[in-house]
Structure 1
Amino acid sequence: MKIILRADDLGISEGVNYGIFKAVYDGMVSCVGLMPNMESARHGYDLIKDLDICLGQHTNICLGKPVSDPLKIPSLVNENGEFYISREINHRQQDTVDILECELEIEAQLQRFIEITGKKPEYFEGHAVFSKNYFQALKNVAKRYHLFYDHPMDENWQKQYHIQSLDYFSLDDRGLYDPYQYFESQLPNIQKNECSLVVFHPGFLDQYILKHSSYTLIRPMECAFLCSQWLKDWLLKHHIEIVDFRNYQKE
């Protein structure tokens, strides 16, 4: 049995960066996604660059400013030249994301990723937007640059790589869930899957997150869980091996 523990949102804020660093250094995270367009992206990379971690691009078209010229991507930005937020994009009745404009921004973020890290991402996926056009643009750019595209919601992708996402958890009125109970409930799925994937958003809170993100209390909670002795003992008890996307890149 194998499992990938992915941490998203490196670079979204300094507080989240410190939490992700702890979740890698003291915890069980095996993959981390960097948001190249964010102001704290370089700060986040500097924290984790010397750790043995699979580092991917967590492409972002719904928070902050684009890397490319806003005038060239009008379907993605508002009158201030900033990205439309995910809630607005996901609730539109039509998919308004222009594929070619999206590819332009994705490629610009890829170049920023390489500028920051000195290398290509070890996996490639997107943040918080559920648009078919967005997914197609990500897939197109990944193919063009020979990148490992991570799309666990796609059944064909799951079959190709034999990686299954675990069931989504339900958040309570505080935006929290019980990660210990969740893992116990998902044990049968982990046992039947060749490899399972769980996505987390560990981090510490700062003013940027409190103002711009719907994920607040969940971040330090998940950070504590990922660093817990309970999780380490639980994985060992059930003979579950932690792997990352580097195990699948050449398949």
Structure 2
Amino acid sequence: MKLIVNIDDLGLTEKVNESVVACFKVGVVQSTTIMINQPATDHAIALIKQGLVPNVGLHLTLTSGKPILDPSLVPDLVDSDGYFLKQDKVLASEVLSFDQAYSEFKAQYDKAINAGIKLTHIDSHHFAAVFPPYKAAFIAFANETGIPVRRVDHVVSGCEGLKVLTTDAFSARFYADGVTLERLQALILEFSTQIPNGTLELMSHTTLAGDTLLPTLSRYVDMRVDEFNILTSQELKDWLEVNKIECIGFDSI
């Protein structure tokens, strides 16, 4: 089986960015996705330009920070202060503007491309792009860009209409209580039995110890350090080799 471990949230903080660089050096992680509207986005772009983060996708962001477009152009997507609606508000919405969502997706994509990033794939922060109010717009946008995406059936079943490449399976279980070496190994073995010749994507979130900015931006903090320690461990790297799990990025699917 082939395994993509994708670190979400590149650009969130400098410590997050530095953890991604360190993970790439070890080699288990060969994929990450950048948030284009966060405090450390420019720092992340600088690291990418230095060649320290070779495989980068776009982490479309719809529930954190402000849009790239002027908030007045995407009123359905923002609150009265111009910030993106929180996750619960999006989930509670039956319909949000297809055109506004598509336009913001394109604005974030264009900003990444104009920064010189050769994007390998697309996914979304908090899975927001595949929540029911946004899913149709995301599929249309993904098909237009033509590059691979994270599976769109994690929140709501079905990949109907999606014409671009994706992995055979995706799991979000390497998170919170699932963040132990033993549980990660069990998860990988479970999928290697189901799809021995397929590709599995695992979502990850990492940072380094002492990230004082992160608690102001995310409720998921301490476990990111645990994820980092597991993904950079020689024990995991050796185990993957013994079990013939090949680590790749989205550029290889």
Q: How many residues align?
A: 242
Q: What is aligned with 2:230?
A: 225
- CA separation in 2, counterparts of 1:113 and 1:89? 24
Task: Give the gaps of 5 or more residues in structure 2.
Answer: none
Q: Deviations over 1:112-165 (max 9, x none)?
A: 10122x1442101211025123222222122223222322535546xx755212
Check the 8 A contact 1:95/1:131 in 2, yes or no. no
Query: What's the TM-score once normalised by structure 2's chain length?
Result: 0.85
In structure 1, distance between residues paired with 2:113 and 2:17: 19
Give, as a single letter, the amino acid of the residue that structure 1 aligns with 2:125. Answer: H
The aligned amino acid for 1:107 is K
Q: Which moved more, 1:70-79 or 1:36-45?
A: 36-45
CA–CA distance in structure 2, aligned partners of residues 242 and 219 of structure 1: 20
Contact 1:97–1:131, Cα closer than 8 Å, also in 2: no
Identity %: 25
- Aligned counterparts, 1:1-251, within 5 A: 1-49=1-49, 50-51=51-52, 53-90=54-91, 92=92, 94-116=93-115, 118-128=116-126, 129=128, 130-151=130-151, 153=154, 155-156=158-159, 161=166, 163-166=168-171, 168=173, 171-172=176-177, 177-193=179-195, 194-204=198-208, 206-248=211-253
Aligned equivalents of 2:22 and 2:239: distance in 1?
Answer: 19
Q: CA deviation at 1:83?
A: 1.0
Contact kept, 8 Å, 2:174 with 2:204, in 1: the verdict is no
Q: Which amino acid aligns with 2:7?
A: A
What is the alpha-carbon distance in structure 2 between the residues aligned to residue 22 and residue 170 of structure 1? 19
Residue identity in the other structure for 1:64: G
Query: What RMSD in Å do the two structures reach over aligned CA positions?
Result: 2.4
Q: CA deviation at 1:166?
A: 3.6
- SS of the aligned residue for 1:144 comes to helix
Q: Relative to structure 1, is the Cα distance of residues 162 and 197 closer, same or farther in structure 2, using a 3 angstrom cutoff?
A: closer
Following TM superposition, by how much is the alpha carbon of 1:13 offset from its aligned partner in structure 2, in angstroms?
1.4
User: TM-score, normalised to structure 1's length?
Assistant: 0.86
**Cα distance, 1:195 vs. partner?**
1.4
Does the 8 Å contact 2:2/2:248 carry over to 1? yes
Deviates further, 186-195 or 5-14: 186-195
